[in-house]
């Protein structure tokens, strides 16, 4: 196996791993927003686990970006993997992934600055996670070679079903009982 094959497989594996970690992050965030909890897992533990999973998704997005950039077959420029619509290869699909990456970074940073920017601002920014997820899924469908295989297709379908069901439960829960803002510190 040549180095270019290793890079290509690394790009694919890191992309799908990023989608799985993003899905887990979405699931954890939605479960936290539904106030589902266990006495064995205090809320601060699940919140920190959610943050860690999100950071792990971000790391795999970074690995995916680097692997795509160093791929000797495609020869992308730095701008092609960092600037939306700058890639000559499937510009829309690439732009969706790049935009999702930048938005994911922004959502993660907003979580790190939550106390400084305030709960309401953080919450508004945090809704951007839904855009990140949607853009990442469409990016995967448009560019992911493995979505033509059964495992790739079912991974995406399963991800979308789980996140959609939890988001619907969250939307219904919000209509029934709005979440009050936490007390100021």
Neighbours of 89 (CB within 10 A): 12
Largest CA distance in the chain: 58
> Secondary structure of 74-116 in the HEC alphabet?
CCCCHHHHHCCCCCCCCHHHHHHHHHHHHHHHHHHHHHHCHHH
pLDDT of residue 181: 59
Q: And the tokens for 56? A: 């792990």
With pLDDT > 70 as the criterion, what percentage of the chain qualifies? 94
Q: How confident is the model over 14-24, as pLDDT tens digits?
A: 999 999 999 99
In 34-90, which residue ranges form alpha helices assigned H by DSSP? 43-70, 78-82
Residue with tokens 């799908």: 16
Contact yes or no for 166/159 (Cβ under 8 A): no
User: How many angstroms separate the CA atoms of 29 and 138, rounded?
Assistant: 21
Residue 39 φ then ψ, to 5°: -65, -20
User: How many angstroms separate the CA atoms of 126 and 29, rounded?
Assistant: 10
Q: How confident is the model over 29-81, as pLDDT tens digits?
A: 999 888 877 777 777 788 899 999 999 999 999 999 999 999 998 899 999 99
What residue ranges define each of the domains in the chain, with the CATH number in brackets?
Answer: 3-174 (1.20.120)
Sign of the CA dihedral running 19, 98, 74, 77: negative
* Confidence band, pLDDT 50/70/90 cuts, at residue 145: confident
pLDDT of residue 49: 92
User: Across residues 8-15, what is the average pLDDT?
Assistant: 95
Contact yes or no for 57/65 (Cβ under 8 A): no
**Which residues make Cβ contacts (< 8 Å) with residue 106, sequence separation at least 6?**
125, 128
């Amino acid at each position: 196996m040549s180095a270019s094959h290793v890079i290509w497989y690394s790009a694919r594996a890191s992309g799908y791993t990023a989608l799985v970690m993003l899905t887990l992050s979405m699931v954890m965030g939605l479960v936290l927003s539904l106030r589902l909890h266990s006495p064995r897992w205090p809320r601060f533990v699940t919140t920190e686990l959610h943050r860690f999973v999100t950071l792990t998704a971000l790391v795999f997005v970074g690995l995916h970006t680097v692997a795509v950039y160093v791929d000797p077959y495609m020869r992308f420029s730095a701008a092609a993997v960092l600037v939306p619509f700058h890639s000559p290869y499937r510009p829309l699909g690439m732009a969706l992934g790049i935009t999702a990456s930048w938005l994911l970074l922004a959502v993660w940073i907003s979580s790190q600055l939550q106390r400084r920017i305030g709960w309401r601002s953080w919450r508004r920014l945090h809704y951007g996670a839904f855009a990140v997820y949607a853009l990442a899924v469409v990016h995967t469908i448009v560019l992911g070679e493995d979505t033509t295989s059964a495992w790739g297709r079912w991974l995406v379908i399963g991800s979308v079903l789980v996140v959609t069901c939890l988001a619907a439960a969250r939307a219904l829960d919000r209509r029934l009982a709005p979440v009050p803002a936490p007390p100021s510190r």
